[in-house]
Amino acid sequence: MNSMKILIWNCRGAGNNTFKRNLRELLNIHKPEILVLMETKVPFSSLGNFFNNLGFSASTVVDPVGRMGGIWMLWDTAHVNVRTSSVSNQFIQATIHREDYEEWIFSAVYASPNPANRETLWEDLERTAATMNQPWLVAGDFNDFTDLSERRSFSPNHTPSRNQRFRNRINNCNLIDLGSVGPRLTWTNNRQGLANTMERLDRAMSNDRWRALFPEGTVRTLPRTYSDHSPLVVLTQGLTIF
């Protein structure tokens, strides 16, 4: 089986030429079949033709409210079939089908910065996990990290109980962190010197059935460019040299 690639990026705004130039470069290098963009800040209708020209002719869209949020899942129908099954303002869930592949479930996540809203997201994911009998990939920006190894900061603003809740939620969903190749910390506050904070907010996780289906599946963290978040590339068949 040839590797399937998914590019996942909290782009922090999709409405300007700098974003378009950076996205074109990412797509030219990594050539994903599925693209997930989060925190788009603009309605999808303003960029529909742009994505069609890039080869992404189908999409499921949760537009931002004002300039807050937004999750777009786009795909190349010549290479993959995506059937959306559930949508909220924090995730899009779909069945992924490709010739010669077993079908599997993909939940693209953009967790709210608001803790109460994140609890709602995890309640939804736990309900999904309770009845999940297919390979399942969950990936995106979770706005949380598991422990101090996933944070670098001179600020003492840190609550271990929050980390424990996040770990408990992951365990309750029977998810395995797929790790990553490349930079470990995926987000920065873009401040200088002692004011700088970096955290691992973006990740990909799966259940054991997805891991068994794709034992060589790999996540690559790309360098930050336009956004304060690193893009992630999930490869189902292992690391590609690029």
For the segment 102-118, what is each residue's pLDDT rounded down to a tens digit?
999 999 999 999 999 99
Q: Does residue 241 register a pLDDT over 80?
A: no
Instruction: Kindly list the structural domains of the chain, giving each domain's residue range(s) and its CATH number in brackets, ordered by start.
Output: 5-235 (3.60.10.10)
> Token pair for residue 129?
């996990």
pLDDT class of 157 with cuts at 50, 70, 90: low
Whole-number Å distance between alpha carbons of 178 and 216: 10
The pLDDT value given to residue 74 = 98
Task: Indicate the pTM of the whole model.
Answer: 0.95
Name which of 158, 150, 136 is nearest 202 in CA terms: 150
pLDDT class of 140 with cuts at 50, 70, 90: very high
The pLDDT value given to residue 137 = 98
pLDDT class of 240 with cuts at 50, 70, 90: low
The pLDDT value given to residue 1 = 61
pLDDT class of 47 with cuts at 50, 70, 90: very high
3-class SS of residue 129 = helix
In this structure, what DSSP letter does residue 216 have? T
Count of residues in the chain: 242
Q: Does residue 242 register a pLDDT over 60?
A: no
Average model confidence (pLDDT) across the chain? 94
Q: Do 39 and 13 form a contact (C-beta atoms < 8 A)?
A: yes
Helix (H) or strand (E) holding 116: helix 115-130
Residues sharing a CB contact under 8 Å with residue 66, sequence separation 6 or more, in sequence order: none
Q: Do 167 and 142 form a contact (C-beta atoms < 8 A)?
A: no
